Structure 1
Amino acid sequence: MTNTSLKTAMSGMINYIGLIGALLAMCALFSVLSENFLTMETFKTLSNDIPTLVVMAVGMTFVLIIGGIDLSVGSVLALAASVLSTAMVQWGWGLFPACVLGVLAATLCGAVTGTISVGWRIPSFIVSLGVLEIARGMAYQVTNSRTVYIGSAVDSISSPIAFGLSPAFLAALLTVIAGQLVLTKTVVGRHWIGIGTNEEAMRLAGINPRPSKIMVFALMGLLAGVGALFQVSRLEAADPNGGVGLELQVIAAVVIGGTSLMGGRGSVVSTFIGVLIISVLEAGLAQVGVSEPMKRIITGVVIVAAVVFDAYRRRNERAA
């Protein structure tokens, strides 16, 4: 193992230990502040709430690693949910084809963002803002700006089957495992990291980064569609206003997990721990009676601290 590989491995291990330590410290703190925190009911609630955020955070990890960002994912989720619910309720489609259609609509949104951003070399920040508005408007059009109630036809995906865990949670966990394997054990994953680290060097090595970058944005859209399926299953309805601000939660979880906003570094497993930290923080603050404005302030402070720590770590790495 080279010195660089050893440093990378050690850095990753330190990151894991730090994140797990922070998560355990939060759990200990909230268990002291609230006698109801460390209960099976809290565990069930968290496991049922996080699948949507988990799968979308996996996709956002890949997007940030290549040096991009996608602010449209909340609206894309709402569009996918609206398409899915409308296909089932108004068109009489079955669950499977309706789910496929919703996921395809979300994947198309991601592909459009990637194609325009990469093809015209426009920052994905700007392009995804435009797609955010387009997807939200289309969600309103599809549902006539009304919540579409589906009922129990979709609730099996989010209904606990064993130990309070649902198929949605297990699928989200498998997504994390698959995402980590793709990122660390495949040529595609190494290409994504290389693009985020030094895109020009990838070009000089004879590798065209454009198809890979478009693929990542399309994958982000696909996972937003899967997240929409989980959300619709949990709520048994699709709200065209759903997912507002969700992109901020997704990015926050990924950044807290240690993925760099500058690209080139990230871990899907760390992102999963970041999701747990965000979810435990929100659940704990709610249980101890913190007001909604104060919850947002505290969450924002945690995000800023994670970004500052990332900048500090990058500066130290360059100095070394």
Structure 2
Amino acid sequence: MLIALILFFMATAPNFATEQNIANIQTQITLNTILAAGLTFAILVSGIDLSVGSVLALSAMVAGLVITSGMPVPLAILCAILAALFVGLVCGFINGYVSVRWSVPAFIVTLGMLNIARGAALQTTDAAAVFGFPESFKNFGTATFLGMPAVFIVALLVIAIGQFVLTRTVFGRLLFAIGNNEESVRLAGHRTSRYKIAAFCISGAMAGLAAIIYLTRLHTASPIIGQGYELTAIAAVIIGGTSLFGGKGSLIGTFLGACLLGVLTNGLLLLGVGDFARQMVTGAVIVLAVIIDYYRQKMSARLNTGLPG
């Protein structure tokens, strides 16, 4: 689908295949790739995290205040990165712990965190934006490495490390197992609650990392950023083949899903399609991905039981 979409826009959209536009696409999909990578962990254990957009905003506000606190620049940048990751990690831990401890659906818990984190982001500076970051911090957002935007390299590293964790570690394999049959994993002697909470912690931490990337690109921390980001990230995960029911998926697929959405948005923009129509197309793609996931699950179940397709 991604290859077909690229070929279509190369033939129809002006300047689509230029080096500058390719770099623009890589930069534009960075945030969604990082958020979707974290969400993949949560969805693999049959969860969901609707709060990543708001957690991104809260992490960005905290990091922005740290950077502009007057500390020496290198120390301020380091502390800001750690602060953003810590805020995201704490929010993810709360999501996972509440969901597991009291058996509350993750949808409800993270919906509540969506409002809590957004309110906290607004409360932090009384809805005022934070700006005036050091040049050395802002330069990273426009830097290139090996011909690619540096922020895109960060996203690729997240995908590579995450894919390694999921496929080459016991932790990753247990996440798949929990998504497929949590009771079997529990009976095998593993405390599934720890792994599920860890998956939400990763999702929150990736929202914190995305906040830092956002600040390097936009140079301003605003409490209203990140609205709707969770929906685009979920779309990337599902389009990439991760099952909403848990237990199946990969970060490579998530990355390709983010690329597809980025290419689609960029191509429609070059064709002159308006914002409202682009939102409609994106929404249709999400619905289509869920329908495809349903039939994929149904076909998989038939193959596993030996029934005809």
Q: Which residue of 1 aligns with 2:58?
A: 79
Q: Which residue of 2 aligns with 1:304?
A: 287
Aligned counterparts of 1:52 and 1:297: Cα–Cα separation in 2: 21
Cα shift at 1:268 = 0.4
Call closer, same or farther: CA 1:162–1:218 in 2, change over 3 Å.
Answer: closer
| Equivalent of residue 207 in structure 1, options 185, 190, 201 | 190
SS of alignment partner, residue 144 of structure 2: coil
**Pairing 1:64–2:39 present:** no
Aligned counterparts of 1:160 and 1:153: Cα–Cα separation in 2: 10
Cα shift at 1:86 = 1.0
SS of alignment partner, residue 69 of structure 1: coil
SS of alignment partner, residue 198 of structure 1: helix
SS of alignment partner, residue 199 of structure 1: helix
Q: Which residue of 2 aligns with 1:138?
A: 120
Cα shift at 1:30 = 1.1
Call closer, same or farther: CA 1:145–1:92 in 2, change over 3 Å.
Answer: farther
CA RMSD of superposed structures (Å):
1.2
| Equivalent of residue 113 in structure 1, options 88, 91, 95 | 95
Aligned counterparts of 1:117 and 1:291: Cα–Cα separation in 2: 39
SS of alignment partner, residue 43 of structure 1: helix
User: Within 5 A, what are the aligned runs for 1:34-183?
Assistant: 34-90=13-69, 92=71, 94-151=76-133, 152-183=135-166
Cα shift at 1:57 = 0.9
SS of alignment partner, residue 103 of structure 2: coil
**Pairing 1:285–2:268 present:** yes
Aligned counterparts of 1:228 and 1:47: Cα–Cα separation in 2: 17
TM normalised by structure 2 equals: 0.94
| Equivalent of residue 245 in structure 1, options 228, 242, 245 | 228
Q: Is the 8 A contact 2:34 2:158 kept in 1?
A: yes
**Could you report, residue by residue, the CA deviation over 1:98-147 in whole angstroms, capped at 9, with x for unpaired residues?**
22112111110010111111111100100001111110011111122012
TM normalised by structure 1 equals: 0.91
Letter in 2 for 1:31: M
Q: Is the 8 A contact 2:57 2:118 kept in 1?
A: yes
**Pairing 1:30–2:13 present:** no
Q: Which residue of 2 aligns with 1:274?
A: 257
Aligned counterparts of 1:249 and 1:164: Cα–Cα separation in 2: 27
Q: How many percent identity over aligned positions?
A: 39
Gaps of 5+ in 1: 1-21
Letter in 2 for 1:271: T
Q: Which residue of 1 aligns with 2:306?
A: none
SS of alignment partner, residue 248 of structure 2: coil
**Pairing 1:186–2:169 present:** yes
Q: Is the 8 A contact 1:155 1:233 kept in 2?
A: yes
Cα shift at 1:185 = 1.1
Cα shift at 1:157 = 2.5
Q: Tell me the number of residue pairs that the alignment of Structure 1 and Structure 2 aligns.
A: 299
Aligned counterparts of 2:2 and 2:146: Cα–Cα separation in 1: 21
**Could you report, residue by residue, the CA deviation over 1:283-313 in whole angstroms, capped at 9, with x for unpaired residues?**
0011101111111111111111111111101
Worse-matched range after superposition: 97-106 or 75-84: 97-106
Letter in 2 for 1:147: A
Aligned counterparts of 1:286 and 1:163: Cα–Cα separation in 2: 27
Q: Is the 8 A contact 2:23 2:149 kept in 1?
A: no
**Could you report, residue by residue, the CA deviation over 1:205-257 in whole angstroms, capped at 9, with x for unpaired residues?**
11110000111111111111000000110001111100000000000000000
| Equivalent of residue 277 in structure 2, options 264, 270, 294 | 294
Aligned counterparts of 1:274 and 1:99: Cα–Cα separation in 2: 27
